[in-house]
Amino acid sequence: MPGNEAFSGFDGLLNQRQPIRTLSAILAKGSIPHAMLFTGVDGIGKLTIANIFAMACNCSEVARVYSGNIDEPHNTHRERKVSNPCGKCRSCRKILSGNHPDIINIEPSGLIIKIIQIRELCNSLILKPYEAKVRVILISDAHKMNKEAGNALLKILEEPPERTLFVLTATHTSDLLPTIVSRCQQIRFNPVSRKNIEKILIDNHGISEDEAFAAASMANGSLARALSIAPGKVGRVSLNNWRKWLVNEVEILPSRSMSSVLAFAEKLAEKKAYISDTLEILKTYLRDILIYRYSPEIIINIDLASRIKSFSQKTTVESIVSKIEAVQVAQRSITANANLKLTLELMVMRLANPIG
Q: Between β-strands 135-139 and 233-234, what pairing exists: parallel, antiparallel or unpaired?
A: unpaired
- At 151, the pLDDT band (50, 70, 90 cuts) reads very high
Within this chain, domains 4-188 and 232-351 share the same CATH topology: no
Q: Per-residue pLDDT averaged across 229-242, rounded?
A: 67
The per-residue pLDDT for 75 is 42
CATH class of the domain whose range is 232-351: mainly alpha
Does the structure show a pLDDT above 70 at 71? no
Q: Give 85-112 pLDDT, tens digit per residue.
A: 888 889 999 998 888 999 999 998 877 8
- At 82, the pLDDT band (50, 70, 90 cuts) reads very low
The per-residue pLDDT for 7 is 66
Residue 300 makes CB contacts below 8 A (sequence gap 6+) with 194, 217, 218, 284, 287, 288
CATH class of the domain whose range is 4-188: alpha beta
- 307 burial level (CB within 10 Å; 0-12, 13-18, 19+): middle
The per-residue pLDDT for 76 is 40
The per-residue pLDDT for 291 is 92
The per-residue pLDDT for 68 is 37
The per-residue pLDDT for 166 is 95
Q: Per-residue pLDDT averaged across 273-289, rounded?
A: 88
The per-residue pLDDT for 191 is 87
Distance CA 2, CA 7 (A): 6
Q: Per-residue pLDDT averaged across 233-246, rounded?
A: 74
**Region for residue 59 given its phi and psi (left: phi exceeds 0; alpha: psi -120 to 50; beta: otherwise):** beta
Q: Give 298-352 pLDDT, tens digit per residue.
A: 888 888 888 899 888 888 899 999 999 999 999 989 888 889 999 999 999 999 9
The per-residue pLDDT for 102 is 92
Distance CA 97, CA 88 (A): 11
Distance CA 7, CA 293 (A): 46
Backbone angles phi, psi at 27, to 5 degrees: -65, -40
User: What is the residue type of 5?
Assistant: E
The per-residue pLDDT for 356 is 54
The per-residue pLDDT for 30 is 78
Query: Reduced to 3 DSSP states, what percent helix, strand and coil does the chain have, rounded to the nearest 5?
Result: 60, 10, 30
Distance CA 22, CA 143 (A): 23
Mean pLDDT of the chain: 84
Alpha helices per DSSP H over 67-208: 76-83, 90-97, 115-124, 147-158, 178-181, 194-205
Q: Per-residue pLDDT averaged across 180-204, rounded?
A: 89
**Domain boundary assignment for the chain:** 4-188, 192-230, 232-351
Q: How far is CA 287 from the centre of its chain?
A: 20
